[in-house]
Structure 1
Amino acid sequence: MNVMFHDLQVTPLGSVLSQGMNQKKKHEVEILSAVVNTVANVIGADGIIDVGAGQGYLAQVLCFHYHLSVIALDASSHHATVISSRAERIKKHFAAKLCKSLYGQDFHYFHFCNFSPCLVTFTLCLINGDKNVHVPIPRTVTCHILSSSKLTAVVRSMVESSLCKDHYAGSSFVLAGLHACGDLSVNILRSFVECEQVKALVCIGCCYNLLSAEHLGNSGFPMSNGAKLLNLVLGRNACDLGCQSEERWRSLSADAILQNFQLHAFRAALQLILDKYYPVELAPIPSIGRQGKALRRRQLQRAVKSQLGTGENNFEPCKMAYCNGKAHLLTSESPEVEAVNGHHKDMVEGECSCTASISKDLCYGVKCEEFYRRSSKVALFKEFCKTGLDRLGVKDLEDIDLLGVWEEVEPFIDLVGPYWSLRAALGPLVETYILLDRLLFLQEQGSKVEVELLPLFDPSMSPRNMAIIAKKCC
């Protein structure tokens, strides 16, 4: 199968098709769409089913750039609306651009080269007054795929329905998944085996921590008979390790790494709070989502606002702290001050080395930089806990000694970095473990299936870069 991709041509996307994509998404869609197009051409597929289509970036590139018939399948009806609206805008743009080329003074035949044949036909029909012409855009189907049998049933129903009747004469499909989350990637692989109409697949998985447990029958891991016979099992924590990226950690700055370690310390402290005050909420292994990016973004915004507000580059860190999204002055009664300096009765006023103008009652001989660092960390921890507990439906925080919990955890913060680094180093091993199980599952189908496991993306940009590519042999 490697011969299939020997001369793979990856075409950069223009500004219209790539609108809304960040650099990472653009990189992924450019490469994966070229791979899917190659596979579709080799097997003579009549259509592509983009499973877990999201906002439809891959589906639209396959449709408008490679002129393939595409069905975008996603669990969110909102995503279906977004896909259809965006596709209509893209269609109108290309049609208008083609009309301009047709009537432009510098018109040449080669202007047609970058346009889909259906768009050329569409434009010519408009010129001739035929308004009943229909230009294919990605079709959307909203459905929760909770099992491979569900996905197989959806594919078969599409073949039998009017949705595909006029477009897929041979009823052969390629299943495509760009970072199909958790069990969704597993269901794509199983549906490929089960469904006669699916002739090939191109699947990149992610979110291994969401794979179903091994005791649930058709679990997310293990899939292969070989792994099952060896009793190879992975728990949730191990699967979570598979989501780590050696390249991503290597590319981070020292400050960014320290911020990540701080967030891990916050999470550990929050777990202590749940264990002590809310054991019932902790029992089902709750999820509070990814608060790290939002928290760091708010930190940066606050620093910028503070600098803009004073008109100075050196804002007064000792004078201001943030708690629950609001700025407030730190006084000698503030718990943040107490956290920095110890108990009030033991404090002795001293001179501050900071050039900022602050009142004496705010400084007790502690360097301003250290003061800000520790008081800011306490305030951030409180904000982190409040947001996390809110997401778990816990509103009453008055009886929780957040400051006491933080003081209990703080002496061990320096151990978070080494511990997490050792765990993260095992990430590639766990991911390889999972991917080889999936590869073996398809190889166990015998000579009727040809399968490869190939890296497609730059791992520093897109850590989950391994694609399982398979096709059924005639």
Structure 2
Amino acid sequence: MNVKKTSYENCPLSEDKQTCDNSPLCKDLPNILMIGLHCCGDLTPTMMKFFSSLDVIKGLCCVSCCYHRMKFDETQRRFDNFPLSTKLKTILQNKQTWSLNSYAMRLAAQETRSRWRNQTTLDHDYHIKNVAYRGILEVFIKQESCDHSKLFRKLTRKRDMETFTTYVEAIVKRTKLNGDEGEIDGEIMKEKLEKIYSQYEKYFMYIEPFTALQVLMQPVLETLIYLDRQTWLEEHTYKTSVVSVFNDNISPRNLALIAVKNNKCVI
């Protein structure tokens, strides 16, 4: 059986609503509720456009995530699917220097305040090490202008984060770094990483305060994304709501965008 692989990002969704509804695929179909529980990147906007274009789809429910994976137009310096609504586009027309980049979109998909409050001292200590050690490795890779490849699926395990020495030992064993003159010797790599560690250790104390600021910004950015999508649906005359479908301690992505075409439906 030959199956043609397609990408939802490149789906040729017809702008002609009547053409969509009269197509052979849409005839004799029951009413449809379209649900997405892990709508990564552009999947939610794509589902919204299908919902708007096909009469057989009566309801929509999307739990979105990974906003930074939306397609970004380097020429226009904007995301293809943000903003979507005419209202937000109009507001931003007068603010030419303001835009959300991929870093802001990634921040919108980070941990919530609730999960942050429930973290223990050990959790915070582990997070500091995780951020700091990876940052040191990135500095090393940049300084050496080297390519790296993992020899195992996971670069490190939790027990490797006990100390920087155990982290470096794991990195040397589980990765391969190639510089201009070939593979970098493990002992030389250890020595240089320890030197970078000594240089940046004094800044580790700032990691959690900056993370706290990120936690405060996260709901602001995610709310903006959801409001833009909700407004787009309302501009197309659909009844909409954004609801919390479960406790964000279970999963930080707990908001569902809901839309219905029948005004008699209650959300």
Measured against the shorter chain, the TM-score band is 0.7 to 0.9
Structure having greater relative contact order (Cα 8 Å, sep ≥ 6) = 2
Once the two structures are TM-superposed, the CA of residue 263 in structure 1 deviates from its matched residue by: 0.7
The letter for the 2-side match of 1:412 is Y
- For 2:72, what is the secondary structure of its paired residue? coil
Task: Note the C-alpha offset of 1:388.
Answer: 6.9
> Counterpart of 1:149 in 2: which secondary structure?
coil
Determine the C-alpha separation between the residues in 1 that align with 2:40 and 2:34.
Answer: 15
SS at match of 1:146: helix
* CA shift in 2, pair 1:382/1:417, >3 Å: farther
> Is 1:144 equivalent to 2:10 in the alignment?
no
Tell me if the contact between 1:200 and 1:472 (Cα under 8 Å) persists in the aligned partners. Answer: yes
Paired residue secondary structure (1:200)? strand
| Counterpart AA for 2:113 | E
1:222-275 CA distances to partner (integer Å, 9 max, x unpaired)? 111222222262111111111121111122221012101211112222231232
After TM superposition, the score normalised by the length of structure 2 is 0.74
Residue matched to 1:462: 251
- 8 Å contact from structure 2 (residues 78, 101) kept in 1: no
Matches within 5 A, 1:205-220: 205-213=64-72, 215=76, 219-220=80-81
Partner of 2:167: 380
Distance 1:263 1:150, change over 3 A: farther
Deviations 1:148-205 (A, max 9, x none): 53699xxx79x846xx9xxx83443221100211111221112212233322211110
One of 118, 128, 149 as aligned partner of 1:261: 128
Percentage of identical aligned residues? 22
RMSD: 3.5
Q: How many residues align?
A: 236
Q: What is the 5 A alignment of 1:185-334?
A: 185-213=44-72, 215=76, 219-231=80-92, 233-244=99-110, 245-278=112-145, 295-296=157-158, 299=159
Task: Give, as a single letter, the amino acid of the residue that structure 2 aligns with 1:454.
Answer: V
User: Is the 1:382–1:402 contact (alpha carbons within 8 Å) kept by the matching residues of 2?
Assistant: no
Which amino acid letter does the alignment assign opposite residue 145 of structure 1? Y
Give secondary structure in 1 for the equivalent of 2:240.
strand
Between Structure 1 and Structure 2, the one with more strand by share is 2
Tell me the distance in 2 between the aligned counterparts of 1:209 and 1:178.
17
Query: Which structure would you say has the larger Rg?
Result: 1
Q: Any unmatched runs of 5+ in structure 1?
A: 1-139, 283-289, 300-321, 324-372
**Secondary structure in structure 2 of the residue aligned to 1:464:** coil
Deviation of 1:389 after TM superposition, in Å, equals 6.5
What is the one-letter code of the residue matched to 1:295? R
| Contact 1:180 1:203 (C-alpha < 8 Å) held by counterparts | yes
Offset of 1:406 from its aligned partner?
2.0
CA contact (8 A) 2:240 2:259 kept: yes
- Local SS of the residue matching 2:157: helix
